[in-house]
Structure 1
Amino acid sequence: MKKLIYPYATLCIAILFLLLTADVLAQATRYTRGIGRYPGDDAENFNPLPAPASDQVRNLALYRTVIHSSSYDYNLTGQLITDGIIGIDMPVTYSGFTSQDGELPKNQCLYLVDHNPVTRLPIQGSEGWIQISWSGPLALPVFDSLIFGFDVQGDNASQAAWSVELSGSVDGTTWTSIRTATGAGIPGDTISPAFKYFLPGNHRVIPMNCSPGEGLHHLRISFNAPAVSWWNIGGLETFLQGDKVTFLTSSTFTSAWMDTGNPQEWVSVDLGAPSQVHEVILDWIRRGDGCQLQHSMDGQQWTDWIAMPESSDGTRDLLIVSAPVEMRYLRVLIKHARAIPALLSELQVMGTGGKLWQPKPAAEMQDHKMLLSGGSWKLQRASEVQEEGLNLGRPGYNDRDWVTATVPGTVLSSFLNVEAIPDPNYGDNQLMVSESYFNGDFWYRNEFEVPQPFIRDRVFLQFKGINWKAEVYCNGRVVGTIAGAFTRSVFDVTDFIHPGSNAIAVKIMVNANPGGVKEQTAASPDLNGGVLGADNPAFHATIGWDWIPTIRGRDAGIWDDVLLTSTGPVTLEDPFVDTRLPLPSTDAADVMVAVNLVNHTNLAQEGILEGRLGEVAFQQAYTLQPNESRLVRFTPVEVKGLHLSHPDLWWPNGYGEPNLTDVNLKYVLSNGSVSDEQHFQTGLRQMTYSGEDKALRIYVNGVRFVPKGGNWGFAESMLRYRSREFDIAVRYHRDMNYTMIRNWVGMTGSDAFFDACDRYGIMVWQDFWLANPWDGPDPDGDSMFMANARDFVHRIRNHPSIGLYCGRNEGNPPPSLNQSLANLVDSDHPGMIYFPHSAEGPVSGYGPYGAMPASFYFQYRATEKPHSELGMANIVSKESLDRMMPADAQWPIGRMWGIHDFCDGGAQNGAAYKKLMEINFGPIDQLEDWLSLAQFRNYEGYRAMYEAQSRNRMGLLIWMSHSAWPSFVWQTYDYYFEPTAAYFGVKKACEPLHIQWNASTDSIEVVNYSHSDVKGLIAQAELFDLNGALKWSHRMNVDSRIDSRQNCFPEEKPEDLTRVYFLRLKLMQGDEVLSENFYWRGPGTEEALGDNFLLRNAHDNDYSALRNLPKVPVTMTENGRQTNADETGFTLTVKNTGDRPALMIRLNVVGEQTGEQVLPVLYEDNYFSLMPGEQKEVLVRVRNEDTRGEKPVIKLSGFNVIAK
């Protein structure tokens, strides 16, 4: 027996060891949540979790996803039939009319009342009228003055009499004249020169003081001016005692779905899981005709269930079944006998099963910091809450029926996370979400336990970011208010917080000027921006631009962290580190460290401030008087160690390493306890500039810096990025050889963004929150704006990545703000440049933004100043398209593409892109072919934008490098973090040392953007015919100076070269290839791309012969796979084993078992081409956490490739 025990015990131990090891490995790799699911790192994700199923009969439809066939407007959507609110009154609906077009479609009728003078409606002829109408129980709001805005064309010399009459009506039939304005010639008054710059030169206004009285439902403005041949109506601005009055019905709220009265309408609810349904209750405001209930398990195949009686009395239908019916989806089908829309207020589905939610556990407390993320946060529309904030902020308040909230997160994302709305980023789901529901204030509340050891002398409640304004309550006490989307707020709650159960309530107040909804179409992206600019600092882009839809609720919510901190009596606030170098030498650095010491008590406090910068330690004793705040500084005068020898400086990408230095500060009281401490990283570097009044040149540590990068209009449509997503995006920028990101209009405010830029050496062009004046008005006041600006500068000034500050996009700030911003940067972030205008003065801009031939950029956009915006559409892969929209909407290109920004009109000019595709490749009738060929266009266009800058090397920030939602335009990688061919065209063009073809001069060039001269180079060019045969080659020796373009030699075409051919360039030093480039070339065409002034003379090449190339075999061999705790790297050899060129070879990482794509991925190269018999080695890297537990493998494809 003894002989058997030992092996058996050994076996048990071995098995146990293997099990424990497997468990440890499984825990070591925490997989991310999947492609497009943000936040992706579960440690940063505080979305609610599914709760165990319940056997209790309940309303399974409450806060469940609803899809509708149509909605009358953007307010009365299907979402409202499961919001738990039963309405009985008719809603207020709005209609707009013009004499020319009659009743306007819903995406245009708001132009008359959206407070945006640049959204205009045309009326031909000398006379006409516009009309706005409210239907329902409420009359139009009372006003006492208005401004009628328009622009005209006509005979400026005419003095014919004109009249403009304002009339009102109760019933739309009988009209009463309210006020008439008259004159001679062209009607109205001109506007101020400052505003005229951004409006048509002939824009005019007619102000009217009037007393229309109450009870009106209709207003009409009639105009007659013989001198005018054409009107463009900009709408009405109405006022009462000087305050704005809005006619937008989203300012009212009725909980009901209203269809458009089509012969067949429907609304369906997803119960979340198979359910047993006992009864259905429908509450109508106006019952539909021929109603029938249907059910389904998949939402596709429907079974008729209950035909509702036509003669039902009252407004409620109670449908009880004899035995429970299993279903997941329930649909109400309406077959209208009359063209009268139905109004369904609420749908209750009583039964068992369905889906429930529970809060994610709160984050763990760390030392004396308690992150209030996760936990018991709840959310409710303020209109449904009767209690005051003092009561809501007490423990024990019954919020059982509130929505489980996500904090940090927006109101909209909280509803998405519990599946109360469909994903607004998919298809046209944004139209399923009610504008008016989210255009209201919301209450958040949270209850949490505070352990006794946490509480010290002082306790602070901190908000890192809310939108737009907030009232804060704690344990039945008023804490304070917050104003603006980009300010941190810290409240001393020492007297409020106690050990045990605590509660806070936060009332989030939505924007005062939300504006109207924009709906993009296949034809038009609508006009950018709008009146939301009056609320800045706000997330102005959420009103809708030509690259992002209108975000319901405008991203109101608690969008950044909330935390409790506990300190001693003295805190450290606003530390600042500043570096000065003896330029041009970088052998030494003088560093200054400053911090505010704040005594929060009525007693004097003695202590020592201890600091450490890297390895340099320093300290000083300070006695603070009661309630004193004192700014203290350490300089090399007091601390010799702050004069550093041979410091590890922070350098931008391509110029050196982005070295970061640890900074530690703490205030130690006389009793030896640490009152407060601060830990952060900074970079030692100095910014200098020249040409501020002509053409800006930027220097980092005395070395000229060329900004190459892109604009970020917005990080993510619902503010769901966390440190993982920012790391991925900025890491991609580093991989593309970028050096700068423009934080356009300051819309990205997360600390994690700036941390990532510091880490990867990407500099930041930091805008303040002012869009082009065409895109929105000035802020309504300076005080809130400047309070946010000061706090934000203090928040980011220790980041070495901050490269400059800009006041406004494509315009100047108002004079008072401009001076205040300049003074702020000068005093609080010394050494940094501030300039007011993003596209004039020392920089240039204004696009263009549509696809252009490569030669255009060399001829017209090789700018003499840093250029702030230039871009084109960028088409995604089929995998991303499938994630974006349903299959039946993908081809032909149409409405759904327009919703996702690929519109024929607008700045993106999708019509020109499609025309260019046709010129390049001929007619294309298959989706897969169009997507594949579009990658040629993506690569060529994005590469050319940067290569064209070689002439002056002043820098380019494209519009845009990053996409905030699933889009077809202005991006290098897509919303799902898949790099498109454009990514690799950019990566190629932005190489620090680069060889290229100049599309304007037809010559070969070497460009040096690096930080040193390079000698002993060989520039080589080769021409291959369409079949891949080498027809010409040439090489020459080159020495490349820093910041230079070397013109090497012209391209020479032999007579026997095919019409379509290939140009390959190499820049070598000995046997090492430092840069390689590949171009497809074709005969020019005479066909212009379009009618506007940029496109009339723009022509491009005919590459259609590429489509005649046969499929060629390409092999891929994995040479090695290296896996560590974080990442797996593949070294691949890709070889063209065929006898023709293999073009646009695409590597795609997928899971071995499922074949599902893995993203993000770093590809050393992709969308590359190989001549017959050639091979290429490529390194591919993927983070293990993104593999979802599968072995990652490479899938090979390409334009004319057969993977072998």
Structure 2
Amino acid sequence: MCIKYRWLAALCVLVSTYLQAQNAYELNSGWQCVNVAKVKEAGQAISVPSYKLSGWIPAVVPGTVLTTLLENKKVPDPFYGMNNEKIPDIFDTGREYYTYWFAKDFKETTPKGDEQVWLHFRGINYSCDVYLNGKKLNTATHYGMFLRQTYNITNVLSKDGNNRLAVIVHPPDPVGNAKTGQGGDGMIAKNVSHQYVAGWDWIQPIRDRNTGIWDKVTIEKTGIVNLKNPHVVTLVPGVRKAEGPQQPATIKVSAELENTSTKKVEGTLQYTLDGQTVSQKVSLEPQKTTVVQLPDFTLQNPKLWWPHGYGKQPLYDLKMQFTVDGKSVSDQETVSVGVREVQTEWNAVTRSKQVAVNGQKIFIKGGNWIISDAMLRFTDARYDAEIRFHRDMNLNLIRIWGGALSERPEFYKACDKYGMLVMQDFWVSGDCNGRWVDPVKKEDQWTRRKYPDDHKLFLRSAEDQIKMIRNYASLAMWCGGNEITPPEDILIPLRDSILPELDGTRWFIDYSNSDDMSYNFLGGNGDGPYGIQPINRFWEHRTFPFNSEVGSVGVGDYESLERFIPAANMTPPHYSTKKIDPVWDYHKYIGYDEYLQPYGEPTEARDFAKKAQLVNYDQYRALMEGFSAHMWDWYTGTIIWKTQNPWTAMRGQMYDYYLDVNACLYGLRSGSEPLHIMYNPVDGMVMIVNNTFETKRDLMLTIKAYTISGKDSLITQVFNEIGPSTVRKYVPILPTINALRKEQGVFLSLKLLDVNKKVVSDNFYWLPDASGNYSGLNKMAKASVQTSVKVLEKGKIELKISNPAGGAVAFFNRVALVDPKTKKRILPVFFSDNYVSLLPGEEKIVVMEYTPDSQSAQPLVSLSGWNVEEKFIPVK
């Protein structure tokens, strides 16, 4: 990550003078705004500090017009019920309705000497003009959601230090008719912006199309030379191991130096990494920006960065500065560097691309990501929580879907931290950009194929965003677009000149389901499948060998549904009548069809949500187990559609918009374990998959069955070993299991233990009776579990659960932290495991981590299960 830092004492021992005022700060509070129709004056007048902002309201920046209106209680929460229908849509109101002036007063005096002051906008949607202290800063109107703006405001600052910034922000043009289709009538794609705001099959339209100053605004101070867009490339030759001494890596570093003066400047660009300094003397022409390449640096015994599940994620601070004449530090930056190299090759067996990191092939277990918040309310804490959830799912890749945006540096920082590789799409999608015939689209395919209107703006935006995020270790792949390439005169320069020049180290896929990524065994144009599937199908039906989108259901539990569905609408879908409540339908419910019926027809919403969690767990565990079972012969990877929702949708999510987890996450967590034991329901084979680089020896494989009453029978136990990056079949048990499950169904416990008898993989299945129903589950005796809770450290709590011997299995227990007064869940909480089942005589520990609120009382731990009465355990 590239951030400005205040001081670099370790590098500056020999420097005689320093630029004491050098820093950067964010303008993120104290903004005001007003609709354009309510002011008659121009920007030159509005931006004068003495101009009265009468009738203006507090504005959310970074944010949008709609987030500001919501904050000021001028619109209802569009994520609750059908409130979104109460908010005027921009297509009906006209663009002026959501065109707003934003103003911010700030203190900054005119600098002295060679000091320069810069104003940075990291994102405005869609077009704008910028004024400061009565002067217009941009010579021409700025366009484009994905194009940063920078202005040297040194000579525009007021002498008394009182400054006013005023920005008029116009919505995209056209805004598109959002009433039908993926991306509405498709016209939103004529802009270089995101497309989902006109509605999709997983979201309702965003009424203002996210118009506003949606990303950070900062003031930065430098000397006469501005150091910007540093570029760090790490080369890691050979095949590496995750642990032990390493052969050297090569570090290649460059940066742009902007000389703001009218004369030539002599100086030194240098950086320090791992205690070593690399420098280059340079001569900079006046009022020009020069790219300076420093000498290559050989990093001895590097600490390598690995995707989650394969190794650790160490990061180095690369500290860079430019000094003028060997005397004063003009500018300095810090780049967080993960030393790794991403490679790809074609797997002739699977007929798909295969990804390697540091020479080791990686089986891709990924999730599709839309955006953190559909109304662009981004925070570092939310990004960190969401990426941590993906780490907890045992995934190793996140794909940024092309109808959204190029993700923010804070997103990538979290991915670097948690070991998530990233596939970043550019901003086109087949639905809007003409791949398919679509009668709801306003223009024909030939016309839509040319979207967006301004191809030069698209390319300028791509160049800028590449520079912004190219230094992150987690960024592994660029993708031209979602299910379609950009137009040819965008694709070719992007692929053949821009990316090679500005990056040159990552795989570029021309579009998300390209033949370059994966041979299409299925035929047709799309990915998928997307709906709920029989468990057996994940194991026996071959799909794309590197599937960029395959998914299922994802309704949360009852507590989740309560947050956005009014009580009057808390009526679950009925399978027999096919009747769906309009609020459920509005929030994009995707059918569970007949898959809840084996558990018994749900009686009401709470029962529906409870049974849905059983299906959720089974679906996503089976999905990843099925793909892993055919690792390297059918598949090189899969990316789930999708792992999260940026609003209160009811499909494809491991946690809800409010960051409350559901059983999808923990089924996926189980199925995606780096070392995992699993049962193939098609041929009854017990298998082990090893997604590590080491041979695992002396593993005790234990297979037990438990009746509904809790009586156990040992099927077998045997020592085995498994090689690195391998899946193997071990024990066929189908006849035994079929006999045991015939009457009421059966529980199947699979465990791997190491030589110290420590459990290294624990997998628990509930299997239906011979008719396919879970008849025994509804006849289970109650399990009386014992619990104890202790605080491990601040924000970290341990729950110990014990199920006494001689009774029933304590089945499918949901753990939560709740407020002691309201019994409402504390969010987010990160669980070492959840929806846990305990065999008779078994004890398990669940560790919960959260951020304590100093104003709140100590929470309670909530525990409830299929046959376990809910209890609340105090945290002492």
Q: TM-score, normalised on structure 1?
A: 0.64
State how far apart, in whole Å, the 1-side matches of 2:67 and 2:376 are.
Answer: 8
**1:158 alignment partner in structure 2:** none
Residue of structure 2 aligned with 1:1155, choices 809, 820, 823: 823
Does residue 1:829 correspond to 2:503, yes or no? Answer: yes
Within-5 A mapping of 1:1034-1113: 1034-1051=716-733, 1052-1053=736-737, 1055=739, 1057=741, 1058-1070=743-755, 1071-1083=757-769, 1101-1113=772-784
Does residue 1:712 correspond to 2:369, yes or no? Answer: yes
Give structure 1 regions of 4+ aligned residues with deviation exceeding 6 angstroms: none
Within-5 A mapping of 1:122-141: none
Deviation at 1:380, TM superposition (A): 1.7
Contact 2:189–2:432, Cα closer than 8 Å, also in 1: no
Cα 1:1019–1:455 shift into 2, 3 Å: farther
Cα 1:964–1:1164 shift into 2, 3 Å: same
For 2:208, the aligned partner's letter is: G
Contact 1:1113–1:1137, Cα closer than 8 Å, also in 2: no
Q: Give the 3-state SS of the residue equivalent to 1:875 in structure 2.
A: coil
**2:679 alignment partner in structure 1:** 997
Does residue 1:425 correspond to 2:98, yes or no? Answer: no
**1:900 alignment partner in structure 2:** 587
Deviation at 1:1140, TM superposition (A): 2.0
Deviation at 1:366, TM superposition (A): 8.4
For 1:385, the aligned partner's letter is: V
**1:511 alignment partner in structure 2:** 172
Deviation at 1:758, TM superposition (A): 0.7
State how far apart, in whole Å, the 2-side matches of 1:1190 and 1:1117 are.
Answer: 19
State how far apart, in whole Å, the 2-side matches of 1:597 and 1:493 are.
Answer: 18
**2:444 alignment partner in structure 1:** none
CA deviation string 1:841-873 (max 9, x = no partner): 13356111111111111122464x221111112
Does residue 1:1172 correspond to 2:819, yes or no? Answer: no
Does residue 1:982 correspond to 2:664, yes or no? Answer: yes
Cα 1:439–1:856 shift into 2, 3 Å: farther
Deviation at 1:696, TM superposition (A): 0.6
Contact 2:125–2:145, Cα closer than 8 Å, also in 1: yes
For 1:388, the aligned partner's letter is: A
Deviation at 1:1031, TM superposition (A): 3.7
**1:963 alignment partner in structure 2:** 645
State how far apart, in whole Å, the 1-side matches of 2:821 and 2:38 are.
Answer: 49
**2:538 alignment partner in structure 1:** 857
**1:587 alignment partner in structure 2:** 247
CA RMSD of aligned residues (A): 2.1
Q: TM-score, normalised on structure 2?
A: 0.88
Cα 1:1188–1:994 shift into 2, 3 Å: farther
Further displaced range: 1061-1070 or 583-592: 583-592
Cα 1:1136–1:927 shift into 2, 3 Å: farther
Residue of structure 1 aligned with 2:56, choices 390, 393, 402: 402
Q: Give the 3-state SS of the residue equivalent to 1:563 in structure 2.
A: strand
Does residue 1:633 correspond to 2:293, yes or no? Answer: yes
Cα 1:696–1:1084 shift into 2, 3 Å: farther
Q: Give the 3-state SS of the residue equivalent to 2:505 in structure 1.
A: coil
State how far apart, in whole Å, the 2-side matches of 1:534 and 1:1180 are.
Answer: 43
Q: Give the 3-state SS of the residue equivalent to 2:53 in structure 1.
A: coil
**1:494 alignment partner in structure 2:** 154
Unaligned residue ranges in structure 2 (runs of 5+): 1-19, 241-245, 435-447, 519-525, 574-580, 872-876
Contact 2:787–2:799, Cα closer than 8 Å, also in 1: no
Contact 1:984–1:1166, Cα closer than 8 Å, also in 2: yes
Deviation at 1:670, TM superposition (A): 2.4
State how far apart, in whole Å, the 2-side matches of 1:1025 and 1:388 are.
Answer: 78
Does residue 1:940 correspond to 2:597, yes or no? Answer: no
**1:1199 alignment partner in structure 2:** 866
For 1:1059, the aligned partner's letter is: Q
Cα 1:892–1:657 shift into 2, 3 Å: closer
Deviation at 1:1046, TM superposition (A): 0.7
Contact 2:372–2:646, Cα closer than 8 Å, also in 1: yes
Q: Give the 3-state SS of the residue equivalent to 1:753 in structure 2.
A: helix
Deviation at 1:1054, TM superposition (A): 6.8
**1:556 alignment partner in structure 2:** 211
Cα 1:528–1:476 shift into 2, 3 Å: closer
State how far apart, in whole Å, the 1-side matches of 2:183 and 2:339 are.
Answer: 40
**1:254 alignment partner in structure 2:** none
Residue of structure 2 aligned with 1:840, choices 500, 504, 514: 514
Deviation at 1:644, TM superposition (A): 1.4
Contact 2:738–2:770, Cα closer than 8 Å, also in 1: no
Contact 1:1019–1:1048, Cα closer than 8 Å, also in 2: no
For 1:405, the aligned partner's letter is: A
Deviation at 1:1174, TM superposition (A): 2.6
For 1:632, the aligned partner's letter is: V
CA deviation string 1:1021-1074 (max 9, x = no partner): 112222221245112332111121110111223746433111111112121111
Within-5 A mapping of 1:803-822: 803-822=476-495
Deviation at 1:685, TM superposition (A): 0.9
Contact 1:1031–1:1054, Cα closer than 8 Å, also in 2: no
**2:457 alignment partner in structure 1:** 784
State how far apart, in whole Å, the 2-side matches of 1:634 and 1:744 are.
Answer: 35
Residue of structure 1 aligned with 2:601, choices 913, 923, 926: 923
CA deviation string 1:196-216 (max 9, x = no partner): xxxxxxxxxxxxxxxxxxxxx
Within-5 A mapping of 1:868-887: 868-887=548-567
Does residue 1:656 correspond to 2:311, yes or no? Answer: yes
Q: Give the 3-state SS of the residue equivalent to 2:826 in structure 1.
A: coil
For 1:838, the aligned partner's letter is: S
Deviation at 1:1137, TM superposition (A): 6.5
State how far apart, in whole Å, the 2-side matches of 1:1162 and 1:851 are.
Answer: 27
Contact 1:514–1:531, Cα closer than 8 Å, also in 2: no
Bigger radius of gyration among the two: 1
State how far apart, in whole Å, the 2-side matches of 1:648 and 1:878 are.
Answer: 45
State how far apart, in whole Å, the 2-side matches of 1:1084 and 1:498 are.
Answer: 82
State how far apart, in whole Å, the 2-side matches of 1:418 and 1:624 are.
Answer: 50
Q: Give the 3-state SS of the residue equivalent to 1:558 in structure 2.
A: coil
Contact 2:182–2:431, Cα closer than 8 Å, also in 1: no
Deviation at 1:725, TM superposition (A): 0.3
Cα 1:757–1:652 shift into 2, 3 Å: same
Within-5 A mapping of 1:665-704: 665-670=320-325, 672-691=327-346, 694-704=351-361
State how far apart, in whole Å, the 2-side matches of 1:428 and 1:892 are.
Answer: 16
**2:627 alignment partner in structure 1:** 949
**1:1114 alignment partner in structure 2:** 785
Which has the larger share of strand? 1
Unaligned residue ranges in structure 1 (runs of 5+): 1-364, 520-525, 637-641, 903-907, 1086-1100
CA deviation string 1:287-321 (max 9, x = no partner): xxxxxxxxxxxxxxxxxxxxxxxxxxxxxxxxxxx
State how far apart, in whole Å, the 1-side matches of 2:76 and 2:739 are.
Answer: 60
Does residue 1:767 correspond to 2:453, yes or no? Answer: no
State how far apart, in whole Å, the 1-side matches of 2:843 and 2:727 are.
Answer: 30
Deviation at 1:444, TM superposition (A): 1.2
Does residue 1:644 correspond to 2:318, yes or no? Answer: no
For 1:899, the aligned partner's letter is: Y
**1:753 alignment partner in structure 2:** 411
Q: Give the 3-state SS of the residue equivalent to 2:174 in structure 1.
A: coil
Contact 2:406–2:425, Cα closer than 8 Å, also in 1: no
State how far apart, in whole Å, the 1-side matches of 2:747 and 2:95 are.
Answer: 56
State how far apart, in whole Å, the 2-side matches of 1:574 and 1:1202 are.
Answer: 58
State how far apart, in whole Å, the 1-side matches of 2:792 and 2:418 are.
Answer: 23
State how far apart, in whole Å, the 2-side matches of 1:633 and 1:1184 are.
Answer: 47
Q: Give the 3-state SS of the residue equivalent to 1:573 in structure 2.
A: strand
Give the paired residue count.
Answer: 799
Cα 1:892–1:1069 shift into 2, 3 Å: closer
Further displaced range: 569-578 or 690-699: 690-699
Q: Give the 3-state SS of the residue equivalent to 2:548 in structure 1.
A: coil
**2:438 alignment partner in structure 1:** none
Deviation at 1:1188, TM superposition (A): 5.3
For 2:323, the aligned partner's letter is: V
User: What's the % identity of the aligned pairs?
Assistant: 31
Contact 2:169–2:212, Cα closer than 8 Å, also in 1: yes
State how far apart, in whole Å, the 2-side matches of 1:650 and 1:556 are.
Answer: 38
Cα 1:438–1:652 shift into 2, 3 Å: farther
State how far apart, in whole Å, the 1-side matches of 2:738 and 2:480 are.
Answer: 54
